[in-house]
């Protein structure tokens, strides 16, 4: 895991393609989980989210009668032991806190592939993995990504996958399966339609499907070009 963190940082698309060859899991799915701002942080340590999941699992199995001897979900914290992990880090010359911080900072950065502007907020960023391309193109906003997609399609190119991030949680999502709320040129993505509708009501925005975003931005010119 320690080496995987660095490998993915250096070449997330290349490693995702190799995992596809080894496992049969589509590279876009691998990238979605393990690439920058992915669903699964490349963090070998046992964090609060893992402990919470374990507690929930124990509680669920107990309620279903799948555990013969009752177990207090809160007691599972006493089962964890990171001494071996800390020893491995020490032998590799790694600092535990640095490893955690590095995993948490593995987010989308750089310049917008369409406009050249800096990508300042990873949760607002969007990405396209164009068919035949080795690298994923990143954008500072969903609007910019959709505009770039329109240009690509006009050139006869297609996308293997398009990624956006849930406005509430930052989860990486497939754009075509997401719900969107549009306020002018500001677009927010959501995993759940109910949360998108609530946000639209709160902000006065419009609940919009991805195909409708494409129709809207196909009519708008690109003000700054970097492609």
Instruction: Write down the pLDDT at residue 75.
Output: 83
Asked if residue 37 has pLDDT above 50, the reply is yes
Q: How confident is the model at residue 221 (pLDDT cuts 50, 70, 90)?
A: low
* Range of the structural domain that residue 60 is part of: 48-79
Residue 125 binned pLDDT confidence (cut-offs 50, 70, 90): very high
Q: 95-110 burial by CB neighbour count: b if 16+ within 10 A, else e?
A: eeeebeebbeebebee
Residue 225, pLDDT > 60, answer: no
| pLDDT tier, 5 (very low <50, low <70, confident <90, very high otherwise) | low
Same domain, residue pair 171 and 195: yes
8 & 99 share domain: yes
Residues 166 and 194 in one domain: yes
Predicted pLDDT at 224: 43
How far CA 194 is from CA of 30, 184, 200, in Å, comes to 27, 21, 10
Indicate the number of domains in the chain. 3
Q: What is the pLDDT of residue 62?
A: 82
Residues 72 and 134 in one domain: no
Average pLDDT, the chain: 88
Higher pLDDT, 48 or 14: 14
Please list the residues that pair with 118 across neighbouring strands.
111
CA distance 146 to 178: 14
pLDDT-based confidence at 148, cuts 50/70/90? very high
* 4 has pLDDT over 70: no
Confidence of residue 185 (pLDDT cuts 50, 70, 90): confident
- Asked whether residue 223 is assigned to any structural domain, the reply reads no
Whole-number percent of the chain with pLDDT over 90: 58
Overall size of the chain counted in residues: 227
In a domain, 224, yes or no: no
Q: Would you say residue 222 has pLDDT above 70? A: no
Residue 47: what pLDDT?
79
Strands (E), the chain: 126-130, 137-139, 159-165, 172-174, 179-183, 186-190, 206-208
Per residue in 39-97, pLDDT tens? 887 788 887 777 888 888 888 888 888 887 778 888 877 888 889 989 988 998 888 88
Nearest residue to 43 (alpha-carbon basis) of 87, 90, 85, 93: 85
* Structural domain includes residue 172: yes
Structure-block tokens of residue 210 = 């991805």
pLDDT at 105: 77
Pair (88, 138) in one structural domain: no
Kindly state the tokens that stand for 46.
Answer: 């046992």
Mean pLDDT computed over 133-147: 95
- Examine the domain organization and report whether 34 and 67 are in the same domain: no
What is residue 188's predicted lDDT score, i.e. its pLDDT?
97
């Amino acid at each position: 895991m320690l080496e995987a963190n660095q490998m993915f940082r250096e070449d997330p698309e290349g490693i995702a393609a190799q995992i596809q060859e080894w496992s049969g899991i589509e590279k876009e799915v691998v990238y979605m989980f393990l690439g920058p701002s992915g669903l699964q942080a490349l963090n070998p340590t046992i964090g609060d989210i893992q402990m919470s999941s374990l507690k929930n699992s124990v509680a669920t199995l107990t309620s279903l009668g799948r555990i013969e001897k009752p177990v207090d979900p809160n007691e599972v914290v006493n089962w964890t032991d990171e001494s071996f992990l800390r020893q491995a880090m020490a032998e590799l010359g790694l600092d535990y806190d640095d490893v955690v911080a590095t995993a948490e900072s593995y987010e989308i950065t750089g310049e917008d592939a369409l406009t050249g502007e800096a990508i300042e907020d990873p949760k607002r960023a969007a990405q396209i993995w164009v068919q035949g391309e080795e690298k994923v193109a990143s954008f500072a906003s969903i609007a910019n990504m959709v505009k770039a997609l329109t240009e690509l399609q006009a050139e006869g190119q297609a996308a293997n996958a398009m990624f956006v991030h849930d406005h509430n949680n930052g989860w990486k999502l497939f754009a075509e399966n997401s719900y969107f709320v549009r306020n002018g040129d500001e677009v927010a993505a959501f995993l759940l339609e109910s949360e998108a509708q609530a946000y639209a009501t709160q902000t006065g925005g419009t609940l919009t499907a991805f195909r409708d975003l494409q129709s809207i931005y196909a009519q708008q010119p690109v003000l700054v070009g970097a492609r």
